[in-house]
Structure 1
C-alpha cells in the first residue's frame, strides 16, 4: 500500500493552510464553523454526512466507545461520529498530508480531544488485537487490491461482538468503470470488488454479515442534485474540487454515467466481529 495512491490524494503543499486561505477569502473563519458545515469538503463520499449518520446509527456507539476509521481522509467521518456519539475516534490513512490536515481541522472545530489521525496502512494496522469497540470504512477499498488483508486486519483489532460498518464503491454489472474517477485517475490504482466478492471477503475475514444494502439509486439522485444545483446550497462554498482541481468536472460526469449504467455501485455492509 504505497506508491501512487498517496500521490493521487496529495494536494501539494500544506493542505490545511490552503483550506484555511480559501475559507478566509470567502469571509469564513475556520474555527467559527461546525463539523456539519464542513461536509462539502471533508465527507467526500456519496450522500455525505447523511450516509455517515445512517451507518453510525447502526453501530451501537456510546460515549465510551473507542472507534477506528479506516481510510479516514480529511477526517469528516471521524468527526461526525465523535461529534454526534460523543466517543473517541482514531483515523488511519495512507496519505500523511490528509492526516495532518484532518488533525488541524479537528483542532479548528474543537474536536482534537475526541479524534486523532495517524498515517498507516489499512492492510497492516499498527494496533493491538481487540483494541476497538467498533470500526468504519467509507469509500476506501476501491484503492486496495489486498482486500482480504484489509478486512482480516479490521477483524483482528476489533473486540468480539464489535460492529464493523463498510460503505464502498463496487463493480457493477453494467461494464467497466470509466476514468478518471475521484479515487483513480486511471485504472492501475482502482480495484473494485463486486457485491458477491465483498460478502465472501468479509465472511472469510471472520465477520458475521448482518446487513447488505444497495444505495446506488440514492447515490445517483444525490449526485444529480449536486451537479444540477437543485439541492440545498452547501454551507461551506469549497468542496473536494480543492483536492482534484479542474479534472474534478470530468470525474463527476464519469461517475454520473457509471451510476446510471450500473458500472459502479454504492453499497454498505454491517458486520459483527
Structure 2
C-alpha cells in the first residue's frame, strides 16, 4: 500500500505555484516560453536528471501517435520532455495535489498543455481503462510503494498488448541500511526498496517480459561527483533560484548527498529497465 498522508507530507502539500513564479522571475524566465533545458534543474526529480530521461526515452519507440502514462509524474519534467521531443500525448498521475497543480502550471508555461494532462491519483489504482496506453513510464517512484506487485499489475493492465513499461528506479544493493534522509524519504518508514533481482521477479510475476536491464549505478556515482565538482567551482557566485530546493526546501542538499553516499557505499543501486506486455 501507499501511506498517502506520509508521502504527501514528505514531498510537501502547500501550493507551489507562487514559489515557482518567484524562482522563474529570479532566474529571468518570467516573460518567455520555457523549454525542457530551462526547467531541468527543477523538474527532473531523479538521479542523473535530464540525461536519465533522455536515455530512457531513446530506449523506446516513441512517435506522435504514442500514448504514454507517466506514473508518479511529479512536477511533470519527463512528461513534458516526451511531449516536446516526440510530439506524443502524455497523461501524468501523482499522489500530490500540489505537484499536479504545479505540473499543469508548467505545462502552460511551456506551451504543452495540449499534449500533457495531469491528474491526482494513486499508482495502485489508476483511473484509466485497461489497454489505454502504449507506454507506461516511471522514474524514482516505486521506492515509496510497499505493494510493488500491485504497482506493476496496474501498469500491465493499462498497457495495450505489445506495450512497454519504462522504469528508472533506485534499488537495494545490500542488506546494509541506508543513510537518511534521502530524496524520497526522511526515514525508513516510507522507503520500500527492493533488490534488482526482486524487482525483476515481481515484474515477471505480473507477466511482463524483460526487454532490457541496465545497471546505472556507476553512471549515477560519476554524475553526482560531477555535480559536486561543478558546485564547488561556482562557490562564491549566486546560486540559481530554480532548483529542487524550491519544492523540497533547504534540506534537499543533505538528501542528495546521502543518496550519493548510499550509491558509493553499495547500499543502493540504480536500474533502468524496459519490459513488455506480450
TM-score, length of structure 1 as denominator length: 0.95
User: How much has 1:135 moved relative to structure 2?
Assistant: 1.1
The answer to whether the 8 A contact 2:23-2:246 is kept is no
Q: Which residue of 1 aligns with 2:74?
A: 73
Structure 1 pair 151–28 and aligned structure 2 pair: CA distance change class (3 A): same
The answer to whether the 8 A contact 1:23-1:238 is kept is yes
- 1:41-63 Cα offsets, whole Å, 9 max, x none, are 00011111111111111221110
Structure 1 pair 174–222 and aligned structure 2 pair: CA distance change class (3 A): farther
Instruction: Answer with 81-90 or 50-59: which moved more.
Output: 50-59
The answer to whether the 8 A contact 2:168-2:273 is kept is yes
Whole-Å separation in 1 of the counterparts to 2:158 and 2:28: 43
Q: Which residue of 1 aligns with 2:29?
A: 28
Q: Which residue of 2 aligns with 1:226?
A: 227
TM-score, length of structure 2 as denominator length: 0.93
Whole-Å separation in 2 of the counterparts to 1:30 and 1:140: 32
Whole-Å separation in 1 of the counterparts to 2:224 and 2:31: 26
- Mark the runs of 5 or more structure 1 residues left unpaired by the alignment: none
Structure 1 pair 94–181 and aligned structure 2 pair: CA distance change class (3 A): same
Provide the aligned C-alpha RMSD in A.
1.8
> How many correspondences in the alignment?
271
User: How much has 1:254 moved relative to structure 2?
Assistant: 1.1
User: How much has 1:30 moved relative to structure 2?
Assistant: 6.0
260, 263, 275: which one pairs with 1:256? 260
SS of the aligned residue for 1:246 comes to coil
Following superposition, which runs of at least 4 residues in structure 1 exceed 6 angstroms of deviation?
230-233
- Mark the runs of 5 or more structure 2 residues left unpaired by the alignment: none
The answer to whether the 8 A contact 1:92-1:118 is kept is yes
Q: Which residue of 1 aligns with 2:161?
A: 160
User: How much has 1:175 moved relative to structure 2?
Assistant: 1.6
- 1:50 matched to 2:51: yes
User: How much has 1:174 moved relative to structure 2?
Assistant: 6.4
The 5 A counterparts of 1:46-195 are 46-173=47-174, 175-195=176-196
User: How much has 1:194 moved relative to structure 2?
Assistant: 0.3
